Amino acid sequence: MAFMLSQSLIIGAVVIVLTPLSVFAASFISKRIHSAFKEQSKITGELGGYSDEMISNRKLTAAFAYEHEAGKKFYEINKRLKICGEKAQFYSSLTNPATRFVNGLVYAAAGVAGAFLAVSSGTVSPGQISSFLAYANQYTKPFNEVSGVIAQLQSAIASASRVFSVIDVIPETDGESDNDYEQIPDEITGVVSAEHVSFSYVTEKPLIRDLNIEISPGSRVAIVGPTGCGKTTLINLLMRFYDVTGGKISVDGVDIKNMKRSSLRSMYGMVLQDTWLFDGTIRENIAYGCPDASDEEIESAAKDAHIHSFIRRLPDGYDTVISGDESSQISAGQKQLLCIARVMLAKTPMLILDEATSSIDTMTEVRISRAFAAMMKGGTSFIVAHRLSTIKNADLILVMRDGDIVETGNHGELLGKRGDYANLWNRQFSE
Ligand SMILES: Nc1ncnc2c1ncn2[C@@H]1O[C@H](COP(=O)(O)OP(=O)(O)OP(=O)(O)O)[C@@H](O)[C@H]1O
Ligand SMILES: [Mg+2]
């Protein structure tokens, strides 16, 4: 630049003043492409999500003859993506030519200024002008190169902002306890109590009001009641998937709000109605909670869960690769049994079974509940079941209705009361 100015101050000034114009042109266009790229990545996300939903639920789509509708919706999203993508591509491919065009003008202006000086005053020679034009070319080159990557940068920034919007989501509040300080019971015996607990998912609709329970260690507690009465909700509160809005729940005298969620959850083994298996071998799936378990331990857990003989019959046995989706060769009940084997291996001091045996035949269910009873000797377990025959032997049965516990007692006592439980029982066995 200094050399350029030393050749001729005037032409040098023309080049230096005019070249930044190309940067203005580039930034003007890049502002437009940023919003276009943002829109494009949003629609790409929408399209991906929609395809994923439709493909993973293809059976349902087919069962409701929804393929045509799904195709139409896909076409509509894809069309929006096309329009927006074209716009983004058009503006982004405009940036570089626009800067080149402006720089071309600068080049021409330098040439004209040089020619004008040479003719009018004769202060510059034609040789100087031509060397000058070569410098001017060198000078504007980096501007062209920068504008060439502006489009890529904008596209990357637009994509990154979507990723950051996910990263920046504030996680579930960990409560006052999740700092360095936490209280943990010295020994987990399984005393679980709820005092004046209230809870609602939506503030206007209270679900649980003033719930009180006191579970002595080593009990098998069954929770029964009609659909939607709040059984799963109670389990969610015990595990702190939701926090109570009033009152407190404690385990062995310690308010669960003062424990870390991870510590609390590691005290419980849990099997739910919705089974969860991941892509991997059966062995890995069973050993999910205890990766260090030996093969013997895994097999003994599988035997307790009455799934061992089925696994043995598979060509690859415990090394059979399965996946959570319906494409794998195992039935819904067998999936539940695998999840049961998983908690049987984990041997946690407390257990939660929410409709864990709902897909399993009654004979196997009875055998499994016996195995659970043996395993949970001395530990506390909570069992939610619609089939009352499974929970007949529970130490304590909590009967729920509309978020309240309306009756408590064991099977015999509750039948004697002739209340909700007796009604449920009689209805199940009169059919
Ligand atoms: N995430 C949620 N947000 C808002 N309301 C919910 C939510 N989950 C459940 N509910 C409502 O809370 C009530 C209790 O639901 P819950 O899942 O505890 O029932 P449940 O007793 O487990 O029933 P089921 O026997 O069908 O499993 C229901 O009326 C339900 O509509
Ligand atoms: Mg439920």
Dump pLDDT digits (tens) for 342-360. Answer: 988 988 889 999 888 887 8
Q: Is residue 175 part of a domain?
A: no
Q: Is residue 24 part of a domain?
A: yes
Residue where one domain finishes, among candidates 151, 167, 183? 167
Q: How far is the CA of 274 from the centre of ligand 2 (A)?
A: 10
pLDDT of residue 249: 93
Question: Domain check: are 11 and 152 in the same one?
Answer: yes
Q: Is residue 177 part of a domain?
A: no
pLDDT of residue 33: 84
Q: Is residue 279 part of a domain?
A: yes
Question: Domain check: are 202 and 321 in the same one?
Answer: yes
Amino acid in the structure at residue 29: I
Ligand 1: residues whose CB is within 6 Å? 201-202, 207, 225, 227-233
Mutational pocket test of ligand 1: of 203, 231, 355, 387, the residue with most ligand atoms within 8 Å of the beta carbon: 231
Domain CATH number, residue 49:
1.20.1560.10
Question: Domain check: are 140 and 229 in the same one?
Answer: no
CB atoms within 10 A of CB 91: 21
pLDDT band at 144 (very low <50, low <70, confident <90, very high): confident
pLDDT of residue 221: 92
Dump pLDDT digits (tens) for 266-292. Answer: 889 888 878 888 888 899 999 988 888
Closest residue by Cα to atom 19, ligand 1, is: 228
Dump pLDDT digits (tens) for 96-142. Answer: 888 888 888 888 888 888 888 888 877 778 888 888 888 888 888 88
Question: Domain check: are 269 and 367 in the same one?
Answer: yes
Question: Domain check: are 338 and 233 in the same one?
Answer: yes
Question: Domain check: are 135 and 202 in the same one?
Answer: no
Segment of 93-97, 234-238, 330-334 carrying the highest mean pLDDT? 234-238
Q: How far is the CA of 167 from the centre of ligand 2 (A)?
A: 31
pLDDT of residue 184: 80
Number of domains in the chain: 2
Question: Domain check: are 123 and 162 in the same one?
Answer: yes
Closest residue by Cα to atom 4, ligand 1, is: 201
Q: Is residue 180 part of a domain?
A: no
Tokens for 317, please give them: 């046995």
Domain CATH number, residue 398:
3.40.50.300
Question: Domain check: are 153 and 239 in the same one?
Answer: no
Q: Is residue 182 part of a domain?
A: no
Determine the straight-line distance between the first and last CA of the chain, rounded to whole angstroms: 97
Question: Domain check: are 162 and 95 in the same one?
Answer: yes
Contacts of 119 (CB under 8 A, 6+ apart): none
Dump pLDDT digits (tens) for 192-241. Answer: 999 999 999 988 888 888 889 999 888 899 999 999 899 999 999 999 99
- Give the structural domain span for 87: 2-167
Q: Is residue 407 part of a domain?
A: yes
Q: Is residue 400 part of a domain?
A: yes
